[in-house]
Amino acid sequence: MIGIKKIEWVSNYMPLLNYLQKNYKGVLDGIKITMAIHLEAKTAYLAITLKRLGAEVFVTGCNPLSTQDDVAEALKDFGIIVHAKRTNDEKNYYENLNKVLDYNPDLILDDGADLSVIVHTERKELLKNLKGISEETTTGVRRIKNLEKSGILSVPVIAVNNARMKYLFDNRYGTGQSTWDSIMRNTNTLIAGKNVVVAGYGWCGRGIAMRAKALGANVIITEVDPVKALEALMDGYRVMKMSEASKIADIVVTSTGMKDVVKYEDIVNMKDGVILANAGHFNVEIPVDELEKNAEFVFEARPNVKGYKINGKNIFLIGEGRLVNLAAADGHPIEIMDISFALQTLSLIYLKKNHGKLENKVYGYPEELDIEVADLKLKSLGIEIDVLNENQREYMKGF
């Protein structure tokens, strides 16, 4: 019941999916789609949208802790097959990934590339029917490109993450807001005046940093790319190595897509009461295992917050080091996901339509679909923009 309410709520703020439901009926008739997603109300509404466009839909989670069970339950009422449970049990998580693959999908909608990697390694028999993959994240795209480099990629893949309407919005405004929503609601601590260390100054990292600054924090950036480090500096942040920044941090947020960004020896030097959170896709950025192993004791400090006693100091970790906005809150704001999921929906339709015409490689996001989504969003907001006239178009061609 409450799951249904959550889905109804998000439908209020998803004008693009509502538009697609109304205008693209039947376009996915006869197509089986297996999707791995952070299963909460917004992704549920995406699944419902695909169903309403004609597809058979099979859903599982893409991260053990990000599934909301009431929503998973509600989804079944819409005729969608769901294998997903909020859990800490990685084995159960992988079983579910395999279960939704058992339906032998035509298309995969992936988030982080777990499904994509499985079908290309352990379950190659599924490649025969598979017509394409649409991948959501930076991390997933990196993994699939590595499949491509290894020469084993066997279907066309669209990197939805590479749509401008995705990485410029989802990664920046989405992660920026939802990361702080989660940290604030789970800790009730003040952000203003705090030393906030953000590891990584990619699109996600700069969203997180921008909002931290906006909330009054004194932000410090760590980076491995010197150009991004200088951008951070010019944006008014301090730039340091993690081994220095960690000593003065009140809050540390990682968002790099890389493992071991914070090292255990950094944590040992942190201040009493420091708060750690990860906003990257995988729980590899903060060394949770070492915290568990080395702490004098471990305690639940609040729901979603674990305390580790180390050298007599309290080190707090939100959401077990899994991506903090989903493991310990409601994920990205609704309107952001509405955009991302309109991109996803058009991507799946595109893969279906162009079946047979595409190579087995990673494609960027089709420019015309990117513009279509942007135009739809502007229209839903009632905003008109300028258009180049004939003279101006000519001018652009001149030298």
Window 258-287: residues binding its own copies (CB under 8 A): 258-260, 273, 284
Rounded CA-CA distance 220/183 in Å is: 17
Q: Which of 129, 214, 292, 309 binds its own copies (CB under 8 A)?
A: 214
Q: Distance of alpha carbon 164 from its chain centroid, rounded?
A: 15
Q: Pick the piece of the chain touching its own copies (CB under 8 A) from 97-105, 122-130, 188-196, 342-350.
A: 188-196
Instruction: Starting at the earlier edge strand, list the strands of the sheet with 81-82.
Output: 81-82, 56-61, 32-37, 107-110, 132-135, 157-159, 362-363
- Give the pairing of strands 107-110 and 305-310: unpaired
Asked if residue 51 binds its own copies (CB under 8 A), the reply is no
Nearer to its own copies, 50 or 113 (CB): 113
* Helices of type H across 131-287: 138-149, 164-167, 175-187, 203-214, 226-234, 242-248, 264-268
User: Nearer to its own copies by C-beta: 83 or 182?
Assistant: 182
Determine whether 399 is exposed, middle or buried from the number of CB atoms within 10 Å of its CB (0-12, 13-18, 19+). Answer: exposed
Q: What does the alpha-carbon distance between residue 77 and residue 281 come to, in Å, rounded to a whole number?
A: 29
- Strands 313-318 and 305-310, by their bridges, are antiparallel
Q: Which is nearer to its own copies, 329 or 349 (CB)?
A: 329
Within 13 Å of residue 228, how many CA atoms lie on the same side as its CB? 18
Among 16, 191, 277, 279, binds its own copies (CB under 8 A): 191
DSSP state string for 118-141: HHHHT-GGGGGT--EEEE--HHHH
Helix, strand, or coil (residue 360): coil
Stretch that binds its own copies, among 64-72, 81-89, 140-148, 347-355 (CB under 8 A): 140-148
Q: 20 or 196: whose CB is closer to its own copies?
A: 196
The region of 86-94, 101-109, 294-302, 344-352 touching its own copies under the rule CB under 8 A is 294-302
Position 398 contacts its own copies (CB under 8 A):
yes
Which residue from 4, 215, 295, 298 is in contact with its own copies, where contact means CB under 8 A? 215
Q: Cβ closer to its own copies: 56 or 250? A: 250
Binding residues for its own copies restricted to 24-43, rule: CB under 8 A: 41
Site string for its own copies, 63-102 (x = CB under 8 A): ----------------------------------------
Q: How many residues bind its own copies (CB under 8 A)?
A: 96
Please name the amino acid found at residue 316: F
217-256 footprint of its own copies as x/- string (CB under 8 A) = xx---xxx-xx-xxx-xxxxxxxxxx--------------
Q: Calculate the alpha carbon distances from 63 to 36, 114, 321 in Å.
A: 9, 9, 12
211 binds its own copies (CB under 8 A): yes
Scan residues 3-22 and list those touching its own copies (CB under 8 A). 5-6, 8-10, 12-13
Which one, 80 or 232, has the nearer CB to its own copies? Answer: 232
Q: Enter the tokens of residue 311.
A: 């050298």
Q: Which of residues 56, 135, 136, 330 is near its own copies by CB under 8 A?
A: 330
Q: Which position among 51, 131, 143, 322 is part of the footprint of its own copies (CB under 8 A)? A: 143
The closest of 193, 241, 243 to 219, measured between CA atoms, is 193
End-to-end CA separation in angstroms for the chain: 63
Stretch that binds its own copies, among 25-33, 67-75, 182-190, 343-351 (CB under 8 A): 182-190
